[in-house]
A = this chain, B = another copy of it.
């Protein structure tokens, strides 16, 4: 059971969001969407695990399977972007949909957004015959100075 209650206004906004993405307006999706997108000014980087914990803290009772399913659906629907930086620490999902890159701090398993305007890509090689460039992922791995 979910103790977490959205205001009508919040629910309305999330419902639109889901509807646009072709997803039914179900309780877990509304609640998770709210967690993810409520403070849309700050980009968020969540893993399945971190979102699960966050949901529990907010008294949203959802199963792990639903977390995974929902994140994958949101990703497929274009509401989230998947970020691959490391094999240890799980998949990251990024609420920032704009073209951008990342600083990655392995020691802290933490991502920081880098607006793509701050990265000047001078020249890229042409893709091999028969292939077209899909996307460019730049990961700037950083370490704390000791």
One of B87, B119, B131 near A87 (C-beta < 8 A): B87
The dominant DSSP class at the A interface is strand
B residues less than 8 Å from A142 (CB atoms): 127-128, 131-134
Asked if A145 and B123 make an inter-chain contact with CB atoms under 8 angstroms apart, the answer reads no
Residue of B nearest to A90 (CB): B87
One of B127, B135, B137, B140 near A127 (C-beta < 8 A): B140
A8 at the interface (CB under 8 A from B): no
Given the interface pairs A84-B84, A130-B145, the reply to whether A140 lies near B124 with Cβ below 8 Å is: yes
B residues less than 8 Å from A105 (CB atoms): 131
A122 at the interface (CB under 8 A from B): yes
Given the interface pairs A87-B87, A137-B138, the reply to whether A124 lies near B119 with Cβ below 8 Å is: yes
Give A133 to B143 CA distance when docked, in angstroms: 7
Asked if B133 and A140 make an inter-chain contact with CB atoms under 8 angstroms apart, the answer reads yes
Asked if B136 and A125 make an inter-chain contact with CB atoms under 8 angstroms apart, the answer reads no
Interface, chain A (partner B; CB < 8 A): 84-87, 91, 103, 105, 112, 114, 118-125, 127-128, 130-145
* 23 A-B contact pairs sorted by A residue (CB < 8 Å): A84-B139, A87-B87, A103-B131, A118-B123, A119-B122, A119-B124, A120-B122, A120-B123, A121-B121, A121-B122, A124-B140, A125-B140, A127-B142, A131-B145, A133-B141, A133-B142, A134-B143, A136-B138, A136-B139, A136-B140, A136-B141, A137-B138, A138-B138
